[in-house]
Amino acid sequence: MEILQDSAITPDDKLIPSAQCQEAFCRFILARTGIIIQAHQFDNLRSAVSSACKRFGYASAFEYLTKLEQGANPPRELEFLISAITVRESYFFRDQYQIDFIRDIWLPGVMPKKPSGEKRLRIWSAGCSGGEEVYTIAILLMEALLDVQTWDINLLGTDINSVVLSDAASGIYKDWAFRTTPKHIQDKYFVKKDGAFLLHQNVRKMAQFKYLNLNEETFSHNLDTTHPFDMILCRNVFIYLDHRTVQGILKNFVSLLSPDGILILGASDLVETNIPGLELCRHQNMFYYQHRQEVFAPAKEIRPSVRPPIEDKHPPKRVQEKAPLPKKTASATPDPKPQKKTTVREEVIVMDRNGLWHEIPVFVDAYTADHGEDAFLTGMKAKALAGLGNVAAAVDLCNHSIELDKTCKYCYYIKATILIEMGKLEDAQHALRRAIYLDHHFFEAHFHLGQLLVRFHNYKAGLKSLRNALELVEKADQERLLFIEQELTCGQLVEILKSEIGVYDARDGKG
């Protein structure tokens, strides 16, 4: 720590960490939580440190850091920092494929496997954010089990961010949290209150929330659960953590799963195939991990206490009538081939990154009315439609964008990402190959192609694509965000690729 003696002049300057001090904060956060602070989060980190100093009375960022490192501060001082730097994005009924799987396949299948008379379910959402995920499961159970009140159900949500945990306990949500929720479900389980939506108490009381740092090696002891979990959800958490931390967490998960238990990660989390004690399984277009070697088989018959699935899978989305054009924001993903419409493209990329899918179609339509159709923007509109759950229209629109410009690699790439979501993996491969044909340096496309190939156990070809991606991405600006990949930088992709290549190298030759 000797290097960190800030020589700043004014007292306020001292509250903002210098470059070295900032690096030390990043190291501290990584060591304590496993979270990698990315370059685009640095501003946020600096302002969080400065606010923390003011709030807790530290004279400098360095002093605050020293106290944190010594563990001499009350936990709230650490919690303040963690709350500021964690990404809490979550919403109800996130990822339709996983929801369909849980409701239609897993739930009907798990009950017949229980010892006779046992009506107990243990489900854990690790990295639960504001509770949207846990309550989605609670609602699925309410809908599926006619005799839900006779079941011993333990729904646990844990997170490292204490602010989100108190939000979860309150059960109050803004409209945006329902962007993929069937309307009749929102109406049935929530009441409008002061411009927000309050979850019914009978659902709220099904879940418990707890503070838990997944990076603590001994976290399993802090769960004080006497029964193993039937299902662990850890969705969209690993993407923020370093590889070593993820390996440790997975090991703990294995020890906490029941013999038939499953683990579900987020669709954009890294898929690894060689996790001891877990078998990677696929159901249509989603992946999950099955404890031990037993492959989870869809139940042939549905028990009488199970209601039919919720019907309205893709309800009409409540698209805003009119969305304001977003403020111009610098995108961290520069279009590698600057063209006339770079600025507009960047704006749409930023909107996509912020999940403003309702606004993108309005924005693109307004642009088109003035300037005519643009292949790239049409592709991005298609991506937004897919984000809103309208995948069929999204694919049609992608095809149209390709008709507009058959040389637009991004259109093929966007189409591929949508096809992957839909589980049309062969077609996705084809689209990725087209994108690569148009630009051999398109490392995002090499990366996805490699991932698809190894998922199909074609390790030789998959490794080749992953190595191509690595070679190319190593030459790129390491702080650049990847094209339409939430929050992932080139530097992180390098780490992911190295780790994936290491995993699949062992299988080379068997593909």
Ligand X SMILES: C[S@@+](CC[C@H](N)C(=O)[O-])C[C@H]1O[C@@H](n2cnc3c(N)ncnc32)[C@H](O)[C@@H]1O
Name the site residues for ligand X (rule: CB under 6 A). Answer: 33-35, 86-90, 94, 127-129, 132-133, 159-161, 164, 212-215, 235-237, 240, 266
Greatest CA separation found in the chain?
73
Is the separation of the CB atoms in 447 and 432 below 8 Å? Answer: no
Nearest to residue 271, comparing CAs of 305, 303, 234, 299?
234
Q: Which two tokens stand for residue 300?
A: 């042939």
Minimum distance of ligand X from residue 165's CB (angstroms): 9
What CA–CA distance (Å, rounded) separates 207 from 464?
46
Q: Is the dihedral of CA 314, 432, 488, 327 positive or negative?
A: negative
Minimum distance of ligand X from residue 235's CB (angstroms): 4
Minimum distance of ligand X from residue 242's CB (angstroms): 10
Helix/strand/coil (H/E/C) assignment for every residue in 254-265: HHHEEEEEEEEE
Instruction: Name which of 79 and 405 has its Cβ closer to ligand X.
Output: 79
Instruction: Name which of 251 and 467 has its Cβ closer to ligand X.
Output: 251
Plot region of 234 (φ>0 → left; ψ -120 to 50 → alpha; else → beta): beta
Minimum distance of ligand X from residue 332's CB (angstroms): 18
Nearest to residue 135, comparing CAs of 87, 98, 186?
186
Minimum distance of ligand X from residue 469's CB (angstroms): 24
Minimum distance of ligand X from residue 422's CB (angstroms): 20
Minimum distance of ligand X from residue 286's CB (angstroms): 14
The three-state secondary structure class of 292 is coil
Instruction: Name which of 266 and 379 has its Cβ closer to ligand X.
Output: 266
Q: Which two tokens stand for residue 74?
A: 């009350």
Minimum distance of ligand X from residue 152's CB (angstroms): 24
Instruction: Name which of 80 and 240 has its Cβ closer to ligand X.
Output: 240
Minimum distance of ligand X from residue 89's CB (angstroms): 5
The structure tokens 């179609």 sit at 361
What CA–CA distance (Å, rounded) separates 190 from 195?
12
Instruction: Name which of 129 and 252 has its Cβ closer to ligand X.
Output: 129
Minimum distance of ligand X from residue 361's CB (angstroms): 23
What dihedral do alpha carbons 437, 442, 445, 449 form, nearest 10°? 70
Instruction: Name which of 34 and 361 has its Cβ closer to ligand X.
Output: 34
Distance of CA 229 to the CA centre of its chain: 22
Instruction: Name which of 242 and 374 has its Cβ closer to ligand X.
Output: 242
In DSSP terms, which residues pair with 132 in a beta bridge? none
Q: Which two tokens stand for residue 153?
A: 């159900």
**Around Cβ 305, how many Cβ atoms within 10 Å?**
14
- Measured CA angle at 400 (ends 442, 407), to 5 deg: 35
List the strands of the sheet with 172-173, edge to edge: 172-173, 196-199, 190-193
What CA–CA distance (Å, rounded) separates 292 from 276?
8
Instruction: Name which of 85 and 377 has its Cβ closer to ligand X.
Output: 85
